[in-house]
Structure 1
Amino acid sequence: MIYLDNNATTRIDEHVLNAMMPYFRESYGNASSTQHRLGRQSNEAIQLARQQIARALKIQDPNELIFTSGATEAINIALKGVATRYHSIGNHIITCQTEHKAVLETCAQLEKEGCRVTYLPVLANGQIDLAQLREAITPETILISLMTANNETGVLHPIADIAQICQQHGILFFCDATQYIGKQNALDLAQIPVDLLCLSAHKFHGPKGVGALYIRRRKSKPIQIEPLIVGGNQEGALRGGTYNVPAIVGFGAALEHLQAEEWKTVATLRDYLETSLLESIPHISINGADAPRLSNTSNLTIKHVLATELISRLPDIAFSTGSACVVGSAAPSHVLIAMGLSEDMARCSIRLSLSKYTTREEIAEVAKQIANAVKKIRAQSPVWMLFEKGLID
């Protein structure tokens, strides 16, 4: 199988797996049991991983990182934790219509509990209008939650500008960086004043089931977060529970092992894929084409070709209709709808996402197979025949 669903998850790096293995079989102690050697070995491994992640993201204090089970848990901690602790100051949160479902559904839950949430629209290319962001801010605004890179289209938000707006108004900025980290230039948190940020290891060739929440330690007005999971003093009492030592070790190793040059190669392959498909398939478009995008992501709308039918015709290629978190839903992509696509066009859209393991030969084969499948589907489609005769749009 040719795997082009790397925004859903990635193949674990061999170097990462090798780093993890000793903590399953030899150094298997509970990291909180520091009274004995096995526990101390595990604890030291966690601290090393914390330092590796901090170095990669230019975090000054490794203890600003809180380990979680993944980005979804980190999102819940951040949004619910801020809403609970800052409710006496204000109850207004600003986010965006194209955010990940983990953000949108958490915000929807907070609305039921009395929060007011503004969901910013996006332009046709998937970007937000910074003027609209400024206009949405009120004296009650306590948090702005905007992602770095969209998981479906790869469209990038200008987080440095957003962080500056938040600083000017004294508002906390939470950034979901889950899709960005490991797919672009390194994120420098020493230069970009993000207050809270989440990431997940399995998006950049690390293990599943581990992520982190970054909480900046301010010298004045420390950021206060109400814990989501209690029951232990792990992670400064912000996330109780036994440490998943092998996964945390793999998390650190995955970030440390990333090479920026790999993603320049991936960007070249993504462009080659898009050019090949645009040249061989009529009436195909790239969603977010004129916006800054992740180097590995291509979201394509193929007119009058249902994505589900195309996927079923290509069982040896792994790709998707969009985010893995909404598979099984009958609704079209909320991201593409927000960008102005009709429901029919959204249902004719596919996401192809590459990794450092993707080869040029694979891309050439994928382009050929997709073009052939589209031709066959359209040849049998009454809708396409009507479109060709100019009877429908």
Structure 2
Amino acid sequence: MNHTHIYLDHAATTPVAREVAEVMHEVHLEEFGNPSSVHSFGRKARRIIDEARLTMASSIGANEKDIIFTSGGTEADNLALVGTAMANKKNGNHVIISAQEHHAVLHAAEFLENIGFQVTYLPVYPDGKILISDLKAALTEETILVSVMFVNNETGVIQPIAEIGRLLADHRAYFHTDAVQAYGLLEIDVKALGVDMLSVSAHKINGPKGIGFLYVNDNVRLQPIGYGGEQERKRRPGTENVAAVAGFQKAVQLVVENRQDNENKYCRYKQLFLHILREKQVDFEVNGDENSMIASTFNLSFPGTNVETILTNFDLAGIAASSGSACTAGSIEPSHVLTAMYGKENERGKNSIRFSLGSYNTEENVKEAAERIAEILLRLTRKAGDTHDR
């Protein structure tokens, strides 16, 4: 069967916007100077970076000096965790993160544990959130850093960031949030939220891959985790990727401009999608609190199925979605996020799929996708039912 392909995996990455590609193409051809060079070629490149930094800063209510360009969200998370822990270890050796962080934070925390830091992993509940009371109980005199993601990349659930900011206002621990999935969809003001550091990635907002930024408040002591030149105010060495920075700036301008429209649109698409599944009597449950999610991402559990079979069938039907489960050597490792929410034994860890909407979607293709998906799931659960009947 020859199906048109429908992309429902924008939380993994997004298509580059045409305007972004055009800006980058122009910079690649016209502005090849090294931003550290003092001649006119270098100065032109430097201006592009300075202007982009202003755009990034104003999009989160920050000062442009506080924006560090990185190679993406992973490097931003690593720099936030490792850089802060190393620079502040004489004040304490305790770090707190949530159990459902992105691996860029989880693995950075594991590295810190291996070199002598203590890490507390806050539990996450079936609604997909941490509890402020757990964080309060975990804080000690030794705590130097708290890192809790803004929006979970698998469930789309929004964490109580402003409340965490208020709690930490009287504590010396720095507060970092991985805002990779929140940026562009939620209004973000770092001062109002009480956030000291915040990570963003361009390829989640129709920008290029391989570039992101870390916002670092002026008061944060941060040790670089790379060595070389004095770029990014000595915090991140390496010749800047000027074309990617320019593309990133354009993506930010577009996403800021269209934020409200996008939110309304994805909300509508999501309701349409769920309505069709219910109408076709597909058996599913939403993972996490539906009222605390961003508009574009939702994670559904399909009882009596498994991730591998679903995704294979989706792919054959031209549907791109994903799961947080890792398929290693033929066995499915349940999603660490859903395991944190529901426990190791819960089937949701192995039968849940993440759908994430974005620029590639229209009302028509969301409707078409939901109909194909309903058909597949009804067929799979019928098959599963048949084998149980024997």
Aligned equivalent of 1:134, options 130, 133, 136: 136
Aligned to 2:197: 196
Give 1:369 deviation, angstroms.
0.7
TM-score by length of 2: 0.93
Residue 230 of structure 1 contacts residue 237 of structure 1 at CA under 8 Å; is this kept in 2? Answer: no
- Match in the other structure for 2:266: 266
Deviation at 1:281, TM superposition (A): 3.7
Q: How does 1:223-242 map to 2 (within 5 A)?
A: 223-242=220-239
1:350 aligns with 2:353: yes
Deviations 1:158-216 (A, max 9, x none): 111101111122221001000000123x2112322210111000111111000011111
Moved more, 352-361 or 329-338: 329-338
8 Å Cα contact 1:266/1:356 also seen in 2: no
The partner residue of 1:46 within 43, 46, 49 is 49
* Counterpart secondary structure, 1:212: strand
Q: Give 1:224's aligned amino acid.
A: R
Checking the alignment, whether the CA contact within 8 Å between 1:52 and 1:253 is kept in structure 2 is no
User: Which SS does the other structure have where 1:339 is aligned?
Assistant: helix
TM-superposition CA deviations, 1:279-313 (whole Å, max 9, x none): 32443100013440011011000011112211111
* 1:114-263 correspondence to structure 2 within 5 Å: 114-184=116-186, 186-217=187-218, 222-258=219-255, 259-260=258-259, 261-263=261-263
Q: What SS is found at the alignment partner of 1:169?
A: coil
Is the counterpart of residue 73 in structure 1 residue 80 in structure 2?
A: no
Distance 1:305 1:234 in 2: 51
Task: Read off the aligned partner of 1:266 and give its amino acid letter.
Answer: Y
Q: Distance in 2 between matches of 1:281 and 1:336?
A: 24
Letter in 2 for 1:349: S
| 1:10 equivalent in structure 2 | 14
Amino acid at match of 2:17: D
- Quick check: 1:308–1:321 contact (8 Å CA) kept in 2? no
Amino acid across the alignment from 1:240: P
SS at match of 1:347: helix
Q: Is there any run of 5+ residues in structure 1 with no aligned partner, and where?
A: none
Alpha-carbon distance in 2 for matches of 1:281, 1:311: 20
Question: Equivalents in 1 of 2:74, 2:167: separation in Å?
Answer: 25
* CA 1:168–1:279: 2 relative to 1, 3 Å: farther
User: In structure 2, what is the equivalent of residue 24 of structure 1?
Assistant: 28
Distance 1:339 1:317 in 2: 27
Q: Secondary structure at the match of 2:274?
A: helix
Contact kept, 8 Å, 1:183 with 1:204, in 2: the verdict is no
CA contact (8 A) 1:263 1:356 kept: no
Question: CA separation in 2, counterparts of 1:168 and 1:291?
Answer: 30
Is the 1:278–1:285 Cα contact (8 Å) retained in structure 2? no
Determine whether 1:105 maps to 2:74. no
Q: Which runs of 4+ in 1 moved over 6 A?
A: none
- Amino acid in the other structure paired with 1:336: L
Take 2:301 and 2:190, find their aligned partners in 1: how far apart are those partners?
A: 35
Residue of structure 2 equivalent to 1:288: 288
Deviation of 1:86 after TM superposition, in Å, equals 1.0
Q: Do 2:282 and 2:377's aligned partners in 1 also have CA atoms closer than 8 Å?
A: no
Paired residue secondary structure (1:79) = helix
Q: C-alpha root-mean-square deviation of aligned residues, in Å?
A: 1.7
Q: What's the secondary structure of 2:32's corresponding residue?
A: coil
Q: Contact 2:15–2:359 (CA<8 Å) still a contact in 1?
A: no
Count of aligned positions = 378
Instruction: For 1:239, give the aligned amino acid.
Output: R
Answering whether residue 374 of structure 2 is matched by residue 377 of structure 1, we say no
CA deviation after TM superposition for structure 1 residue 135, in Å: 0.6
Inter-partner Cα distance in structure 2 for 1:173 and 1:91? 15
Identity %: 37
> Is 1:57 equivalent to 2:96 in the alignment?
no
